[in-house]
Amino acid sequence: MGLGGTLLLLIAVMPFAGALLPGLMIRAGRNVCAISTAVPTFLALTMLVVLAPSVMQGNVVQAQIEWLPQLGLSASFFLDGLGLLFAGMILGVGLLITLYARFYLSGEDPMGQFYTYLLLFQGAMLGIVLSDNILLLLIFWELTSLSSFLLIGFWKHLPEGRQGARMALAVTGAGGLAMIGGMLILGNIVGSYNLTDILAAGDQIRASEWYLPALILILLGAFTKSAQFPFHFWLPHAMAAPTPVSAYLHSATMVKAGVFLLARMWPALAGTDAWFYIVSTTGLVTMVLGALIALFKDDLKALLAFSTVSHLGLLTMLLGFGTQAAAVAAVFHIINHLTFKAALFMTAGIVDHETHTRDIKRLGGLRHLMPITFLIGTAAALSMAGIPLFNGFLSKELMLEEASHTDWFGSAYAVPVMATIGALLSVAYSLRFISHVFLGPVRDDYPHKPHDPPFGMWAAPALLVAMVVIIGVAPFLAEGIVTAAANAVTGADLHPHLKIWHGFTPALWMSVIAVAGGIILLLLHKPLDKLWIAAPRPEAKAIFDRLIAGLVAASRAITEIGHNGAISRYLAIFTASSVALGWVAYSSSGLSAPTRELLPISPVIFVGWIMLIVATVSVVTMHHHRFRALVLIGIIGLSISAGFAYLSAPDLALTQISVETVTIMLLLLALHFMPKITPKESSAGLKLRDGVIALGAGGGVAALAYAFLMRDIETISDYHLANSYEGGGGTNVVNVILVDFRGYDTFGEIIVLGIAGLVIYAIMHALLDGPASRRLKNTDYSYDRSRDRHPMMMVVATRVMMPIAIVVGAYIFLRGHNQPGGGFVAGLVIAIALLMQYMASGFAWTQERQRMEYHTMIGLGVVIAGLTGVGSWLFGRPFLTSDFTYIHLPPIEEFEVATAMLFDLGVFLTVLGGVMLMLYSLSRIARFAGETVNVEPMDYDPADRVPDEEER
Amino acid sequence: MEIIVASSIGVLTAGGVYLLLRLRTFPVILGLALLSYAVNVFLFASGRLATNLPPVLSPYGDASYTDPLPQALVLTAIVISFGMTAVLVMIGLGAFLEADSDRIDMEPEQDGADAANEGSA
């Protein structure tokens, strides 16, 4: 990668890394905050300057870090002439804006936030211009939309700010979405997402039948970002932002991103008729329309916004021409527009700051009161008008020159005439900016008495204006960077010469007409303005709002059809469509012949099957009696567990039977607080509908199961069977898979179970704090409470059972690795043993004797399992590699100790803790419901009985 | 044997789906329980059926075994579906206690016969 590559990566990272600083530094004061913003920008700019000489000679600096190579996504950056130009603009203007904003923002504005957003935005912009991977570029593209949303809506208290930010996000976001599609198509055509590869494959792309869709989608992205007609309307509304933001986003950076993309994609996409007509026509229309509207805007920033729209149109049109000379003109104008427009925005900001108004009709005569601002504003505006000796003139001449010999649908005049009109309007609004704001008599009704701002505020625009004049007088100074950037755009080796005097070319005459016409138009401004106000015009914002309202209504209507709050409805839709899809899949491809024989049916299993069917049908028909249904569910679970045992799955049988027990207990506990009867409220029609869906689903699943049961498959289990003993040290392959081969899955699963337990605990607490607790207290549950709740027989029996159950659990745990059993089952068995104590002697009595919190148990289990996995790292093995050995303790047989057993211990603890926490939570609710607390193990203890008189 | 397993899965699914489409939490939870049985057996059956061939390695040389992998998957599935049922029960219970109604729909389906039925019940 080399030193250059490292520097490039640092440049790309710098703004993001620095973004945190201002947010923290604001505590140290506003100056420190501004400086901490400037430092990362300045560092990045310095590094860019270091790289610049080599790039100017035509070298390309590259840096790459593999990120997701499977998706073709890598964090790769490159710096060529175009990237250098834009990165320089972004960082340079960024620095100036930082300075300007320090003086512009008032004490009430959260400055730390502002600078953080600004740096985020700067980083996103830099990412766009430096990305060498279009997927990465897309990510940065979206990041600019998001960060500009934050900046535009920075003044959250202003409704215009919020609406403008929303509109900008909606329009540019939608365009970005289209662009993602276009970029993916492009990557598909070329077979690589690397920008360098794509730019080299221009012929292949233009020949592809997917060229047009890709082009249109990418152009949608570029046009929305660069505010091209008909998406131009968001830019003026985004002017609700603080002026530094407008100056940064809407002159130098964000809106240029679209233009940048056009320039970047130029070698890959330009050169076809489709490109020429779509891009240049859009640009032309935008240029003229933007300039026309700008002339009649009274808000200073709105005027500048529409002039930006117009100049972006000009750039788009130039790139659309697709010639090398036009590309040179475009690159040059990008620089010039940046300098004068940023200066103009800052001037507008100064005027607004000093006079407290941006309404041109309330201004005028400021040249005496604000001479410095007047000088800066006038020079910048003259450049915008395209007056000689200012840089705007040079690139405008180049543009007119290109326009003068461009054919459009066979007409030689369409483009030159329209371009001249655009230039003419541009002269008119530029001169209006000067004359209506600064010239004329001094007024005495400004909202605030104006005077020139402090040096810090006018320093930045003054510097920009200096550049305007220097380039305007000595254009050859800009030749180097223009050449480098234009070569990067076109991929050719160009040597443009920028000069002021080209002779009496058609472009010069067009310029003369434009200036003369512009002055005349300005003189006629008053009557024209009346005409303009009277004329009917479509209001973009109203149209946009109606469009959004329509879209919202439409999507709401569509959502209502399927998603109206009735869960049973969408479950029905979901099930029915799954069944239908299954049917489509089945009927569109046949079924191969069966390869397996039917296994014989044993009579016992047949009886079990009958039990299962009868129980299921009964649950469905009798589900209104909830208690009865629970008993039947128990029968079903037991039948299934028997089935597992019969079909060579002892582990499953053990797990099923213990889970069944716990589930039924849990449901019983919950049922205590719920209605015991489900009301009959479904209509016959509803029942019929559900019955049909259910039979369809059941029939389909049964057919599917039968189909695959009769056919053989390739299985990967041979590996597990072969390696279970040698690799995992156990003969119970199911357990070895759980704790070793697929240990990672198991680790995830116990975490899920633990979380389920904690969720239940949390719900319980939330319930007991809410209205539910009052309901619990006021409901009388005594009717289903037994007289002898803790019978002696049960207490004694569970006490005897307890040690036996624990021994059984330990046994199941220890044998798990080699024989059916293991942590899951052992955890459940012990849980059941403990639950029996709860049932026999009650909650409080048992709780008193509990030594360890269940939360701790869950945590301990997960930690033990995790540490076991991590432990294998210490031996340089992957996560959860197990090791084992055999131990012989004299009284017992030789037995095996494996690290997997430690993992299983984690499983055991988590399962036990999770299950117990769930049931504990339900018992807590019971206590809240007025359940009495017993401290004695049983209600009636014969040992305490005082003998009767008679017995004595 | 295959017919028995396939038909059991079918019946459990049908019962589960029917209960799932009921309007109160408790039958829905029961339906989900039935459906989990069906899914677990279905997954288990994807290893094909075999009797007396448990996947516990025999010390006596060559023996054939049934497919252990689906069993391992189903084992965790059983435990996880218990966790899921438990959370659902708690949510259902909580909803009932908070709202004094165990309906699952936000508003009753607009069905004329439905309302009439409710009146008679």
Cα A255 to Cα A148, A300, A328, A686, A950: the distances in Å are 11, 19, 19, 57, 105
Cβ–Cβ below 8 Å for A663 and B82:
yes
The residues that bridge with A65 in the sheet, in sequence order, are A75
Domain-embedded: residue A503: yes
Within 10 angstroms of residue B111's Cβ, the number of other Cβ atoms is 14
Domain-embedded: residue A618: no
- Our CA-based measurement puts residue B98 at a distance from the nearest CA of chain A, in whole angstroms, of 5
Q: Is any Cβ of chain B less than 8 angstroms from the Cβ of A625?
A: no
Domain-embedded: residue A827: yes
CA quadruple A84, A255, A385, A461: dihedral sign: negative
The residues that bridge with A299 in the sheet, in sequence order, are A359
The residues that bridge with A171 in the sheet, in sequence order, are none
| Same domain as A550, residue A457 | no
Phi and psi angles of residue A359, each rounded to the nearest 5 degrees, phi first = -80, 115
Pairing state of beta strands A894-898 and A73-79? unpaired
Give the pLDDT of residue A672.
83
Chain B residues touching residue A677 (CB < 8 angstroms) = none
Chain B residues touching residue A760 (CB < 8 angstroms) = 86-87, 90
Cβ–Cβ below 8 Å for A712 and B67:
no
A249: helix, strand or coil: helix
Q: What is the pLDDT of residues A184-213, one digit of tens each?
A: 999 999 988 888 889 888 888 898 899 999
CA quadruple A57, A58, A59, A64: dihedral sign: positive
Give the pLDDT of residue B114.
43
- Transcribe A710-758 into DSSP letters: TS----SHHHHHHHIIIII--SBHHHHIIIIITHHHHHHHHHHHHHHHH
Is residue A253 over pLDDT 80? yes
Spatial distance between the Cα atoms of A36 and A492, rounded to a whole number of angstroms: 41
Last residue of a domain, one of A462, A491, A523: A523
Give the pLDDT of residue A202.
87
Domain-embedded: residue A241: no
- Our CA-based measurement puts residue A627 at a distance from the nearest CA of chain B, in whole angstroms, of 11
Query: Which one of B9, B22, B41, B46 makes the best mutation probe of the A interface by having the most chain A beta carbons within 10 Å?
Result: B22
Is residue A474 over pLDDT 90? no
What number is the average pLDDT over the span A367-393? Answer: 90
CB A295 within 8 A of CB A432: yes
What chain B residue is nearest to A743 in terms of C-alpha separation? B72
Cβ–Cβ below 8 Å for B75 and A655:
yes
Cβ–Cβ below 8 Å for A617 and B15:
yes
Q: What is the pLDDT of residues A92-126, one digit of tens each?
A: 999 999 998 988 888 788 888 899 999 999 999 99
Give the pLDDT of residue A506.
84
Cα A873 to Cα A679, A751, A868, A870, A881: the distances in Å are 58, 21, 9, 5, 8
| Same domain as A560, residue A415 | no
What number is the average pLDDT over the span A321-343? Answer: 90
Cβ–Cβ below 8 Å for A720 and B12:
no
- Our CA-based measurement puts residue B110 at a distance from the nearest CA of chain A, in whole angstroms, of 10
Domain-embedded: residue A717: no
Query: Which one of B25, B60, B78 makes the best mutation probe of the A interface by having the most chain A beta carbons within 10 Å?
Result: B78
Extract the tokens encoding A174: 């939608």
Domain-embedded: residue A652: no
Split at pLDDT 50, 70, 90, the class of A279 is very high
| Same domain as A560, residue A513 | no
- Our CA-based measurement puts residue B111 at a distance from the nearest CA of chain A, in whole angstroms, of 8
- Which of the given ranges, A219-223, A501-505, A531-535, A745-749, has the highest pLDDT on average? A219-223
Split at pLDDT 50, 70, 90, the class of A384 is very high
Within 10 angstroms of residue A538's Cβ, the number of other Cβ atoms is 8
Spatial distance between the Cα atoms of A757 and A555, rounded to a whole number of angstroms: 38
Chain B residues touching residue A767 (CB < 8 angstroms) = 93-94, 97-98
Q: Which of B2, B72, B114 shows the shortest C-beta gap to A710?
A: B2
Last residue of a domain, one of A459, A490, A523: A523
The angle subtended at Cα A741 by Cα A739 and Cα A743, nearest 5°, is: 40
| Same domain as A827, residue A907 | yes
Split at pLDDT 50, 70, 90, the class of A846 is confident
Q: Which of A706, A720, A772 shows the shortest C-beta gap to B3?
A: A706
Least confident stretch, A289-303, A394-408, A743-757: A394-408
Total count of domains within chain A? 3
Q: Could you give the count of Cα atoms lying within 13 Å of A3 in the half-sphere of its Cβ?
A: 5
Cα A444 to Cα A156, A434, A498, A852: the distances in Å are 33, 19, 46, 83
Strands (E), A889-945: 894-898
What number is the average pLDDT over the span A2-22? Answer: 86
A359: helix, strand or coil: strand
What is the SS3 assignment for A199-243? HHCHHHHHHCCCHHHHHHHHHHHHHHHCCCCCCCCHHHHHHHCCH
Q: Which of A629, A680, A690 shows the shortest C-beta gap to B121?
A: A680
Q: Which of B12, B84, B107 shows the shortest C-beta gap to A565?
A: B107
Spatial distance between the Cα atoms of A596 and A385, rounded to a whole number of angstroms: 86
What is the SS3 assignment for A372-395? HHHHHHHHHHHHHHCCCCCHHHHH
- N- to C-terminal Cα distance for chain B? 43
Cβ–Cβ below 8 Å for A650 and B54:
yes
A675: helix, strand or coil: coil
Split at pLDDT 50, 70, 90, the class of B121 is very low
Touching A: B residues 2-61, CB under 8 Å: 2-27, 29-30, 33-34, 37-38, 40-42, 44-57, 59
- Our CA-based measurement puts residue B5 at a distance from the nearest CA of chain A, in whole angstroms, of 8
CB A887 within 8 A of CB A896: yes
Percent above pLDDT 90 for chain A: 32
Domain-embedded: residue A866: yes
**Omega before residue A230 within 30° of 0, cis:** yes
Residue burial A406-422, b: 16+ Cβ < 10 Å; e: rest: bebeeeeebbbebbbbb
Split at pLDDT 50, 70, 90, the class of B112 is very low
Cβ–Cβ below 8 Å for B75 and A652:
yes
Give the pLDDT of residue A896.
64
Cβ–Cβ below 8 Å for A705 and B10:
yes
- Which of the given ranges, A231-235, A532-536, B70-74, has the highest pLDDT on average? B70-74
What chain B residue is nearest to A777 in terms of C-alpha separation? B97
What chain A residue is nearest to B68 in terms of C-alpha separation? A734
Chain A residues touching residue B109 (CB < 8 angstroms) = 566, 568-569, 686
Mention every residue, 6+ apart, whose C-beta is less than 8 A from residue A323.
Answer: A402
What number is the average pLDDT over the span A866-892? Answer: 72
Chain B residues touching residue A564 (CB < 8 angstroms) = 106-107
Is residue A794 over pLDDT 80? yes
Give the pLDDT of residue B110.
46
Last residue of a domain, one of A472, A500, A523: A523
What chain A residue is nearest to B98 in terms of C-alpha separation? A772
Within 10 angstroms of residue A404's Cβ, the number of other Cβ atoms is 18
Q: Which helix (H) or strand (E) holds A613?
A: helix A603-622
Chain B residues touching residue A613 (CB < 8 angstroms) = 7-8, 11
Give the pLDDT of residue A65.
84
What range defines the domain where residue A538 resides?
531-564
Residue with tokens 């501004």: A34
Is residue B111 over pLDDT 60? no
Give the pLDDT of residue A931.
66
- Our CA-based measurement puts residue B32 at a distance from the nearest CA of chain A, in whole angstroms, of 11
Which has the closest alpha carbon to A910: A813, A824, A805? A824
Mean residue pLDDT across chain A: 86
Domain-embedded: residue A814: yes
Query: Which one of B7, B9, B11, B101 makes the best mutation probe of the A interface by having the most chain A beta carbons within 10 Å?
Result: B11
Cβ–Cβ below 8 Å for A824 and B67:
no
Split at pLDDT 50, 70, 90, the class of A261 is very high
Spatial distance between the Cα atoms of A452 and A367, rounded to a whole number of angstroms: 10
Phi and psi angles of residue A61, each rounded to the nearest 5 degrees, phi first = -90, 135
Give the pLDDT of residue B62.
67
| Same domain as A910, residue A775 | yes
Give the pLDDT of residue B119.
38
Q: Which residue has the higher pLDDT, B117 or B34?
A: B34
Q: Which of B34, B57, B66 shows the shortest C-beta gap to A731?
A: B57
| Same domain as A424, residue A302 | yes
What number is the average pLDDT over the span A233-260? Answer: 87
Q: Which of A681, A715, A820 shows the shortest C-beta gap to B56?
A: A820
| Same domain as A511, residue A421 | yes
ipTM here: 0.88
What number is the average pLDDT over the span A914-921? Answer: 87
- Our CA-based measurement puts residue B82 at a distance from the nearest CA of chain A, in whole angstroms, of 7
CB B43 within 8 A of CB B70: yes
| Same domain as A558, residue A471 | no
| Same domain as A322, residue A344 | yes
Give the pLDDT of residue A638.
92
DSSP state of A624: T
| Same domain as A546, residue A429 | no
Q: Is any Cβ of chain B less than 8 angstroms from the Cβ of A236?
A: no
- Transcribe A599-610 into DSSP letters: PPPPHHHHHHHH
Split at pLDDT 50, 70, 90, the class of A951 is low
| Same domain as A493, residue A454 | yes
| Same domain as A492, residue A551 | no
The angle subtended at Cα A431 by Cα A430 and Cα A434, nearest 5°, is: 95
Pairing state of beta strands A61-68 and A884-888? unpaired
- Our CA-based measurement puts residue A688 at a distance from the nearest CA of chain B, in whole angstroms, of 10
